[in-house]
Amino acid sequence: MARNTRDCLNSLISRLDSIERSRRRIEQLLSQSGIRVRDAEVVYEALFLRSVVYFESLIEEVFMGLLTRAVNHDSAAVRPRINRVSHVAARHLVFGEKDYIDWLPFTRTEALATRFLAGGRPFTLLEDVTRQRLGQIIAIRNAITHRSAFAMRRSREQVLGSTPLPPKEKTPARYLRSVFRIAPPQTRFELFQIALRDSATAICG
């Protein structure tokens, strides 16, 4: 029996909820001097990267599922442009000779969706502000994983623009831990988690 895209969405939300619980435990330990700030920053980076991996997995599951009709979408406007194909054939069409695909930056997913799905839907349904948030998320991910001067500079340009930051917030982990809203208190990490949820919701309907 085919899954529904909302099943995929619920699975992602469950995973992101688990990450949020871990983040809160880290903050609690930090407030009790149970760990050092540097330890907390390492965990923040790991949790952030895991969130992006989970989101990328959702993209692949939904994309390949729609293409092979193993996953259904509630909207009749979401349909593949090719006849029914097996998972093996679909994977060869999309992946070619590659073992994996980088679905992010999201423009790569949109380009593939335009080729294989009618109107690129549902991957072309994201609002501009959501796309912008995804771009910032990928810039931060690259800054964490590559640690190069170029990646760090691109991260600052894409995420911050001309906005000045105090020195204590200029690393990816410190930026993620920083509070951008006081009432109710919310970190930038939480802001980006919401962006991932919004993006997944737009895709899954």
Secondary structure of residue 178 in the 3-state scheme: coil
Tell me if 84 is assigned to some domain. Answer: yes
Tell me if 56 is assigned to some domain. Answer: yes
The predicted pLDDT at position 148 comes to 58
Q: What's the predicted TM-score (pTM) here?
A: 0.90
Domain count, the chain: 1
Tell me if 48 is assigned to some domain. Answer: yes
Q: Which helix (H) or strand (E) holds 102?
A: none
Residue 3: both structure tokens together: 């899954």
Strands of the chain (E only): list them. Answer: 3-4, 71-72, 179-181, 186-187
Tell me if 194 is assigned to some domain. Answer: no
Tell me if 158 is assigned to some domain. Answer: no
The predicted pLDDT at position 59 comes to 98
Tell me if 183 is assigned to some domain. Answer: no
End-to-end CA distance of the chain: 19
The predicted pLDDT at position 146 comes to 78
Q: Is the dihedral of CA 17, 31, 36, 194 positive or negative?
A: positive
Residue 18: both structure tokens together: 């688990």
Tell me if 182 is assigned to some domain. Answer: no
Domain that residue 94 falls in: 3-127
Strands 71-72 and 3-4: parallel
The predicted pLDDT at position 162 comes to 45
* Regions in the chain scoring below 70 on pLDDT: 147-169
**Amino acid occupying residue 80:** P
Tell me if 167 is assigned to some domain. Answer: no
